[in-house]
Chain A
Amino acid sequence: MSEKIITREDLIKLNDNLYEIPQSFREDMLVPARVYMNEEMIDSVLADKSLWQLVNVATLPGIKKYAIAMPDIHQGYGFPIGGVAATAIAEGGVISPGGIGYDINCGVRLLVADTTAASIKSHLPRVATEIFRSVPSGVGRGGKLKLQADEIDKVLTDGAKFMLEWGYGSLEDTELCEEQGAMPGADASMVSDRAKKRGRDQLGTLGSGNHFLELQVIDKIFDEKAAQAFGLQEGLVTVMIHCGSRGLGHQTCTDYVKLMMQKLPGWGYNLPDRELVCAPFSSPAAQDYFAAMVGAANFGWANRHVIAHWTREAVHKALGGSVKLSMVYDVSHNIGKIETHVIDGKETRVLMHRKGATRAFGPGTPETPQRYRAVGQPVLIPGTMGTASYILAGATEGMQQAFGTSCHGAGRRLSRSKAKKMVRGSELRERLESQGIIIRCASDAGLAEEAPMAYKDVDNVVNIVHESKLAYKVARLKPLAVIKGG
Chain B
Amino acid sequence: MSKDFEQLPHTADIKIRVYGKTLEELFRNALVGMFQIIGTRSEQCTTKNDRLVCDNLPGRYAVEVSSPQQDLLLADFLSEALFLSDIHNQAFFNLEVQELTETHIRATVHGVDVEGFDTEIKAVTYHELKLQQVDGIWQAEVVFDI
> Could you tell me which A residues sit within 8 Å of B by CB distance?
48, 74-78, 81, 102-103, 138-142, 194, 197-198, 207-209, 247, 250-251, 253-254, 257-258, 261-262, 274-275, 277, 412-418, 442-443, 445-446, 449, 485-486
Q: What are the residues of chain A within 8 A of B129 when measuring CB–CB?
A: 274
CA distance A419 to B14 in the complex (A): 12
CA distance A209 to B116 in the complex (A): 13
Do the beta carbons of A418 and B9 come within 8 Å of each other?
yes
B64 on interface, CB distance cutoff 8 Å: no
Partner-binding segment picked from B17-25, B52-60, B92-100, B120-128: B120-128
CA distance A446 to B120 in the complex (A): 9
Closest residue of B by beta carbon distance from A485: B120
Do the beta carbons of B87 and A197 come within 8 Å of each other?
yes
Tell me whether A198 and B120 are in contact in the complex, defined as CB-CB below 8 angstroms, given that A413-B11, A416-B12 are known contacts.
Answer: no
B102 on interface, CB distance cutoff 8 Å: no
B141 on interface, CB distance cutoff 8 Å: no
CA distance A421 to B112 in the complex (A): 30
Closest 10 CB pairs of A and B: A140-B116, A77-B127, A445-B118, A139-B120, A102-B123, A139-B117, A250-B122, A102-B122, A415-B9, A208-B120
CA distance A445 to B120 in the complex (A): 12
Do the beta carbons of A275 and B126 come within 8 Å of each other?
yes
Measured CB to CB, the closest approach of chain A to B88, in angstroms, equals 10
CA distance A208 to B119 in the complex (A): 7
Tell me whether A446 and B118 are in contact in the complex, defined as CB-CB below 8 angstroms, given that A77-B127, A253-B123 are known contacts.
Answer: yes
B107 on interface, CB distance cutoff 8 Å: no
Do the beta carbons of B120 and A261 come within 8 Å of each other?
no
B79 on interface, CB distance cutoff 8 Å: yes
Tell me whether A207 and B68 are in contact in the complex, defined as CB-CB below 8 angstroms, given that A197-B87, A198-B83, A257-B126 are known contacts.
Answer: no
B48 on interface, CB distance cutoff 8 Å: no
Do the beta carbons of A78 and B127 come within 8 Å of each other?
yes
CA distance A101 to B87 in the complex (A): 22
CA distance A442 to B38 in the complex (A): 15
What total of chain B residues lie within 8 Å of the partner, measured CB to CB?
A: 36
CA distance A79 to B71 in the complex (A): 21
Closest residue of B by beta carbon distance from A138: B116
Q: What are the residues of chain B within 8 A of A258 when measuring CB–CB?
A: 67, 72, 76, 79
Contacting A at CB under 8 A, from B35-54, are: 38-39, 41
Q: What are the residues of chain A within 8 A of B146 when measuring CB–CB?
A: 209, 416
CA distance A451 to B72 in the complex (A): 33
CA distance A188 to B131 in the complex (A): 35
Do the beta carbons of B116 and A414 come within 8 Å of each other?
no
Do the beta carbons of A140 and B117 come within 8 Å of each other?
yes
Q: What are the residues of chain A within 8 A of B124 when measuring CB–CB?
A: 254
CA distance A274 to B75 in the complex (A): 13
The count of A-to-B residue pairs whose CB atoms sit within 8 angstroms is 98
Other A-B contacts than A139-B38, A140-B41, 19 sampled, CB-CB below 8 A, are: A48-B11, A75-B11, A76-B12, A77-B125, A81-B12, A102-B125, A139-B117, A140-B114, A208-B120, A209-B146, A254-B79, A258-B72, A261-B68, A261-B72, A275-B127, A277-B126, A416-B10, A416-B14, A445-B39
Do the beta carbons of A449 and B119 come within 8 Å of each other?
yes
Q: What are the residues of chain A within 8 A of B135 when measuring CB–CB?
A: none
Tell me whether A262 and B68 are in contact in the complex, defined as CB-CB below 8 angstroms, given that A140-B89, A197-B87, A415-B9 are known contacts.
Answer: yes
Which of B12, B116, B119, B123 sits near A141, CB closer than 8 Å? B116
Do the beta carbons of B12 and A75 come within 8 Å of each other?
yes
Do the beta carbons of A254 and B12 come within 8 Å of each other?
no
Q: What are the residues of chain A within 8 A of B126 when measuring CB–CB?
A: 77, 257, 261, 274-275, 277
Do the beta carbons of A415 and B10 come within 8 Å of each other?
yes
CA distance A140 to B87 in the complex (A): 9
Do the beta carbons of A139 and B145 come within 8 Å of each other?
no
B108 on interface, CB distance cutoff 8 Å: no
Which of A76, A78, A207, A418 sits near B120, CB closer than 8 Å? A207
CA distance A48 to B126 in the complex (A): 18
Q: What are the residues of chain B within 8 A of A251 when measuring CB–CB?
A: 83
Do the beta carbons of B86 and A247 come within 8 Å of each other?
yes
Do the beta carbons of A443 and B86 come within 8 Å of each other?
no
Do the beta carbons of A415 and B11 come within 8 Å of each other?
yes
CA distance A197 to B80 in the complex (A): 13
A and B contact pairs by CB, cutoff 8 A, 19 listed: A48-B11, A75-B11, A77-B125, A77-B145, A103-B122, A138-B116, A139-B120, A142-B89, A209-B119, A247-B86, A250-B145, A254-B123, A254-B124, A261-B68, A277-B126, A412-B12, A445-B119, A446-B119, A449-B119
CA distance A485 to B119 in the complex (A): 9
Do the beta carbons of A140 and B115 come within 8 Å of each other?
yes
CA distance A386 to B86 in the complex (A): 31
Measured CB to CB, the closest approach of chain A to B117, in angstroms, equals 4
Tell me whether A417 and B116 are in contact in the complex, defined as CB-CB below 8 angstroms, given that A102-B145, A261-B126, A445-B39 are known contacts.
Answer: no
Select the residue from B72, B83, B129 with max chain A CB neighbours within 10 A.
Answer: B83
CA distance A443 to B9 in the complex (A): 23
CA distance A414 to B10 in the complex (A): 8
Measured CB to CB, the closest approach of chain B to A141, in angstroms, equals 6
Q: What are the residues of chain B within 8 A of A449 when measuring CB–CB?
A: 119
Measured CB to CB, the closest approach of chain A to B44, in angstroms, equals 14
Q: What are the residues of chain B within 8 A of A138 when measuring CB–CB?
A: 116
Q: What are the residues of chain B within 8 A of A257 when measuring CB–CB?
A: 126
Measured CB to CB, the closest approach of chain B to A458, in angstroms, equals 16
Do the beta carbons of A198 and B119 come within 8 Å of each other?
no
